[in-house]
Structure 1
Amino acid sequence: MSETIIWPELQALYGASPVPDLDTCHFFYLHIDERGTSVTFGFETQQLPPYPEPEWSRKAYNTLLFWIEFTGVTELRVAGLLAEAERAVRITEDGSPTRLKVSVESERRSVSFTAASARVSHTRVYLQGAL
């Protein structure tokens, strides 16, 4: 189970309802930007928020995508590619409030690093399959 981190951007969409646990979301995107020392993860969930963005009401959707961007990344370690469905996401404070310790691990592959900050950089909804 992923650690409890308050993501204000997701909390605005979910209110008092629990935000999706990252371990239950489909982890579909990993981007490492060595120039900007950032790492971005993309997640997909069908746990829809009770307080959606107003523009989302103009179309049918059943899936929420969201991206978490980590900046000030150091100590990056990558072993293999992250394609397995069974994996654990961990995001914890690394002994001080200014560093996060991040890891995504499956049976044979992993990525880990520390980061100065993290934020949900953007969200999007779409219709997956039939309703």
Structure 2
Amino acid sequence: MGESDWTAILRSAEILRAAYPTPPDPSECTLQYFQIDEREASVTVGFVTLQLPSRPPADWEGKKYNTVEFYLRFTNVKRLRVAGWDFTIRDAEVSVSRSSEGIQVALASEGSHIHFAADQCLVPRMRSYLSAQE
């Protein structure tokens, strides 16, 4: 990601920071979800990680899980470009950084390239579950 704590660019990262001393880097996660909402000029990206939190939320206590998913919702998206979309996007190299024009996001894999700018990023959801894949 280029920054030691990529969550510093997020408007609300409390849910991630409360669970992880160092939140999982999206580049090291699997892309699971990607939604463009043209009505609200937003993009939501969901990631899956096997990196379990050292301080899980209280409502996860007693629950069996080996996988965590979290979502990043980018708002006031501008200059969205999508060039190709294929199965390799799941393993995309993810870049989230701050520039003078706001937050810059790029997802790139062999057959897929997505780039956009956004004013802010929120973490609307994080959940755990027991996955058959490890």
TM over 0.5: yes
**Which residue identity does 2:129 align to in structure 1?**
Y
Aligned pairs for 1:68-87 (under 5 A) are 68-84=72-88, 85-87=90-92
For 2:20, which of 10, 14, 19 is the aligned residue?
A: 14
Give the match for residue 32 of structure 2: 28
The aligned residue for residue 10 of structure 2 is: none
Against the structure 1 CA distance between its residues 11 and 82, is the aligned structure 2 distance closer, same or farther, given a 3 Å change threshold?
Answer: farther
- Look up the match of 2:68: 64
SS at 2:51 equivalent:
coil
Structure 1 residue 82: Cα displacement: 4.9
Shift of 1:23: 1.2
Counterparts of 1:50 and 1:82 in 2: how far apart (Å)? 34
Higher helix share: 2
Cα pair 1:70 1:116 within 8 Å, conserved: yes
TM-score by length of 1: 0.88
Q: Tell me how far 1:87 sits from its aligned partner.
A: 2.1
| Alpha-carbon distance in structure 2 between the residues aligned to 1:25 and 1:14 | 15
What amino acid sits opposite 2:69 in the alignment?
Answer: L
Question: Secondary structure at 2:87's aligned position in 1?
Answer: coil
What secondary structure, in the 3-state scheme, does the structure 2 residue paired with 1:81 have? coil
- Shift >6 Å, 4+ stretches: none
The Cα offsets for residues 41-81 of structure 1, whole Å up to 9 and x where unpaired, read as 00000100011111111320010010000001000001122
Equivalences, count:
126
Distance 1:25 1:59 in 2: 22
Unpaired runs of at least 5, structure 2: 8-12
Contact 1:101 1:113 in 2 (8 A): yes
Structure 1 residue identity aligned to 2:19: L
| 2:30–2:91 CA contact under 8 A, matched in 1 | no
Note closer, same or farther for the CA distance 1:52–1:114 as it changes in structure 2 (3 Å cut): same
Give the distance between the partners of 1:42 and 1:130, measured in 2 at CA: 17
| SS of equivalent to 2:16 | helix
Deviation at 1:126, TM superposition (A): 0.2
Question: What is the RMSD computed on CA atoms of the aligned residues?
Answer: 1.7
Q: 1:71 and 1:55 mapped to 2: Cα distance? A: 28
